[in-house]
Structures are given as C-alpha cells and as structure tokens.
C-alpha cells in the first residue's frame, strides 16, 4: 500500500504506470541511471541496466511504458522492457 504523500524514485516506465493509477507527479522522481545519492548511513548509485542480459545477451526491447495510458491497465499494455535500472548500495565508505 502506498502511503499518502510518499516520495518515489523510480524508472520512467514505472513512473508512467503510477501516474496512470493516480499518483501525483509531485511524488515521483524519474531515474535514468548515473544518479548518486548520499544518505546518513548509506550511499546509493543508480546504474542503467538491461533486464534480460543473461538470456544469451539478448534484449527484448528498450521502449518505455508510454505516459498517455489510463488505468486500469492490462498485462499486454505493460509488456515493455525498457528503463531497467541496477543499484549499488554501499553501507559504509570508511577505510577498512
């Protein structure tokens, strides 16, 4: 369940799906990869990725979910591969 007023950092396609279901734009922050975030106890790096890279190095599609669709959505409408992200999380940067 989404808490009212919560902030989301997510890939473009997921943001478009959440907007289709009525989540306000002000709660969404689109990530593309290359972003670095520093928090009190950890660091978070966003890395562009390919969801299906392990399937003989084939990628199904780089299209993103369009921002013009309205809910309710079908699985067929959401059959989009693009906008996949990977994350590197460091819990400490102190010298060992």
39 falls within a domain: yes
Determine how many CB atoms are found less than 10 A away from the CB of residue 65: 23
37 falls within a domain: yes
Please tell me the predicted confidence (pLDDT) of residue 56. Answer: 65
Containing domain of residue 28, as a range?
8-90
* CA–CA distance, 38 with 24 (Å, rounded to integer): 25
**Whole-structure pTM over 0.75, yes or no?**
no
Structure confidence by residue, pLDDT tens digits, 8-33? 998 888 888 889 999 999 999 999 89
Scanning the structure block, which residue is given the tokens 């669709």? 69
Q: How many domains does the chain have?
A: 1
Determine how many CB atoms are found less than 10 A away from the CB of residue 31: 20
Structure confidence by residue, pLDDT tens digits, 35-94? 999 988 899 999 988 766 565 666 666 677 778 888 898 887 776 666 788 999 999 766
3-state class percentages of the chain: helix first, strand second, coil last, to nearest 5: 10, 25, 65
1 falls within a domain: no
Provide the pLDDT confidence category of residue 96 given band limits of 50, 70 and 90: very low
* CA–CA distance, 6 with 36 (Å, rounded to integer): 20
């Amino acid at each position: 369940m989404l808490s009212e007023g919560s902030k989301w950092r997510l890939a473009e396609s997921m943001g478009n799906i959440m907007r289709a279901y009525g989540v306000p734009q002000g709660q969404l922050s689109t990530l593309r990869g290359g972003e670095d975030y520093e928090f009190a106890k950890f660091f978070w790096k966003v890395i562009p990725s390919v969801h299906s890279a392990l399937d003989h190095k084939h990628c199904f599609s780089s299209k993103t979910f369009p921002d013009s669709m309205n809910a309710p959505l079908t699985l067929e409408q959401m059959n989009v591969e693009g906008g996949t992200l990977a994350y590197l999380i460091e819990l400490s940067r102190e010298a060992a």
